[in-house]
Structure 1
Amino acid sequence: MRFFNTAGPVNCQDHYCIPPLTRFNLPEILMLIKQKKYFVLHAPRQSGKTSCMLALRDYLNHEGRYQALYINVEIAQTARNNVGRGIKAILSQLAHVSENLFSDPSPLENRASIFEENGEDAALGVALSLLCRVSTSPLVLIIDEIDSLIGDVLISVLRQIRAGYTKRPKLFPSSVILCGVRDIHDYRIHSEIEKEVITGGSAFNIKAESLRLGNFTKEETRTLLLEHTKETGQEIEEEAIKSVHLLTMDQPWLVNALAYEACFKIEDGIDRSLPITQSLVMEAKERLIQRRETHLDQLADKLKEERVRRVIEPILSGEGKPEIIPEDDIWYAEDLGLITTKGQLRISNPIYQEIIPRILTYST
């Protein structure tokens, strides 16, 4: 039996899902790849961006015009400003994922010697060139969790990719997609080496586009919920569907979490002979808030940031007028999924509206 997924990428064999490739403008992305562009796709945490990027990788490899590599660089986050350690971690990850795409032995099986011969500030670029030399088609590189990297490691990765840009497509990836929570213009990277703050735009000035993966549409939320009815025969009442939409404003994790709680955790919801009602959805909401699920608990960390508080506190006090809040801070808070700028500037959904004041009260 499939279920509503609240942890990790979606697998449509195991989870109720909206097909990931329908969640963004696939023709637009394919055009950028065809034009050999380097671009950014960003979205708040647990919005489905990793699922979408994995689906894009599989689509490109199946289509056959490109060879696509997906790499998650979060493994290098703990290196912080240690560039050598961070690049070694990324090379290890790159070698691992390339083994499945290229013939054995992998062109990166001697990654230790690549690092020793070229140094921390060039080894990643050399490794990517080696992969392109053996690739039978233009290489598309998808780098996920790019903004999990810290300080000089992030600067080094961005600059090594920028340095190889002019060698594409034969000696460097034809297209690179940087995937993270924030748009690159929001990066404020403190360099221990250069003793200054480097902006993402200056470190990666070859970005062609910034695309944002949004929430579900209202119709997608309905479709996802009714997958449960198709699978189990259990009715989900119309008022319950409306409540899920209104409480979450279609934020993907919240939709899945509410539905999972209502359908798989609450006793009356587990009984498939009983319908899922609005009252069950409201009970599920209270349970999520009281437990401070991981997704909701992450809000606490974000609310510690001065840039976020400069936006959130005026909204909560009723003084959230865009003209008195720095525009960059508004973009940043919106990228994190905390606020919406559609219509009146406000907290992005009623569940966040309820839990954010509690967090702020508790932290003061």
Structure 2
Amino acid sequence: GDGQGDGQGDNQIITGGSAFNIKSESLRLGNFRHEDVAVLYAQHTEETGQLFEEGVTANVIDYVFEQTGGQPWLVNALGYEACFRTKENRDRARPITLEIMMGARERLIERRDTHIDQLADKLKEPRVHRVINEMLSDTTGEDATIPEDDLQYVEDLGLIRARPQLAISNPIYREVIPRTLTWTTQVLIPQETVWYIKADGRIDMPKLLSAFQQFFRENGDSWAGRFDYKEAGPQLLMQSFLQRIINGGGRIDREYGLGRRRTDLLVQWPLDQARGFHGPVQRTVIELKILHKSLDTTIKEGLTQTAGYMDRVGADEGYLVIFDRRPDRPWEEKIFSREERHEGRGELRIGVWGM
């Protein structure tokens, strides 16, 4: 077989040296099903004796399938990254745990192999730009008019899936796309992680958001306009700023998409650097919204969404950031921060930041 398969279950896997074939960089291959991923990883175990963690709460195969959506290159690259790239993981007596695989995912995203570079190139194409722009820029969905053939093209590239609803096709791409678009900006932002670390090791989020608010006020329009994806400028700028600070040891997970009217960010920051994600972790939700309706309505809607997301991901802190893009509003009226109480499962305090 050629290792590509056609999604019909007869995916032949290349042997020789490693069960994981990462030669085929192509974006567009038929996706693996869950059982195909399991078979591929079982082949590695058979050849080397190295096991993958298969607990109820921590199942490596489930995680790989969920993160890659079965995209063959990603499935293979994650396996190769976890099992072959670091010396200690080449010790076959050492099982590959969920934590090891999560680290492999981060390195894969950061290293930007050919496959991920191809993805970056595609983002510059006008047809791809039109579709992804709508997904990143917090449009309501009703306003979004994406030509059918553009959608089909981007789906054929494997970047999005149309069912059950329009979404980026897997969590790794969902992470790569904003990072790719913000990379050049991120390196230019003059921010240091240490400025925001409190004595107990936590990140001082209100201090960070105040700094971003000031940065956005001074540079927002000129910087946000630098992105190819201008409509999503404020959200991308916030993500660049955060990424710059969090890159020193934490992770950011993002959720965005057509008709969601918001971008949800989950910032995870290990409090004990030696134990990393095995130890205690500060989990913070930051929701970004563009002001569409009245401020009160936007805040009310945003608080409910932020609280819901906090509940879902088990976060202990939550913030709502509202961008007022109306050109006739002076900054004095846009800039504010206050704490709101939200009654849900118990009372939550959520910081609201306007800019």
* Structure number with higher helix proportion: 1
Report the TM-score, using the length of structure 1 for normalisation. Answer: 0.43
- Name which structure has the greater RCO, CA cutoff 8 Å, separation 6+: 1
